[in-house]
Amino acid sequence: MKALKHLLLCSLAIFLCLPASSQQTDINRYTFFTGFDYLISPARDLTERGFEGDFGVTVKPWLGLGGDFSAMGNGIVSGAGAINGSETVFAPILQAAGFDPSQVNVPFKSTTYTFAVGPQFYIRKWDRVTFLVRPGFGGIHEAADINATGPLQGLISELGVNPHQTDTQWFIGMGGGFDISITRPLGWRFATDWVNTHLFSNILVPRQNYWRFSTGPTFRWGHLK
């Protein structure tokens, strides 16, 4: 979370230091973004780091169409969390076995991939800054390795739970952020995206919220006619 706080503070400082300027008139046709991603899922204490790629085509000054792909986890940089027993379908069994489900936290490592497509709405009131809002439809795939030890390891084995879990689900998400123009073909983006889905429904009872924070360069070319 410390890295996330530094990212938000830096983006706010850059934004506040920008001079007021006129509305944009010379708009690029194509945009490609690639950068660093920081993903969290609070219910599972999950944090992952990785990268994101995003390509868009501007069809109107206020509208673009495109999609993005992100990859995060221990296979990329790092990704780990913990599953609380009270939020699993095995809570009654844990209690019957003498465990307090709310006190059971099983660690895991994971790798997550997301892909999404949809519109991107632009606010171009300033020459140096472009704000964006983007609803998206896509999918999320996660592979997780459960690292139970001691008595819990034996209990999980008896329950027939595979320590290696994979799942893919569809989602509708929402995001937004802003691009800072450095030169006409180059900018820098700060963005946040939110997704609500239900991965691993064979184990986990509640749905999960995912928050993704990303930053990196945007490359722009072509002219909107």
**pLDDT tens sequence across 155-176:** 878 888 899 999 999 999 999 9
Q: What's this model's pTM, rounded to 2 decimal places?
A: 0.84
Query: Where do the structural domains in the chain lie, given as residue ranges?
Result: 2-15+28-213
Cα separation, 180 vs 52, whole angstroms = 18
**114 — pLDDT class (breaks 50, 70, 90):** very high
3-12, 181-190, 205-214: least confident range? 3-12
Burial per residue of 79-118, b for 16 or more beta-carbon CB atoms within 10 angstroms, e otherwise: bbbebbbbbbebbeebeeeebebeebebebbbbbbbebeb
Q: What is the pLDDT of residue 26?
A: 81
Q: Where are the alpha helices (DSSP H) in the chain?
A: 2-17, 91-96, 150-158
The pLDDT of residue 18 is above 80: no
- The mean pLDDT of the chain is 86
Task: Answer whether residue 4 shows pLDDT above 50.
Answer: no
Candidates 1.10.10.10, 3.90.550.10, 2.40.160.20, 3.40.1160.10; CATH matching 2-15+28-213: 2.40.160.20
Q: What percent of the chain has pLDDT over 90?
A: 64
Residue 62 Cα to chain centre, angstroms: 24
State residue 43's pLDDT score.
87
Judge whether residue 120 has pLDDT over 50. Answer: yes
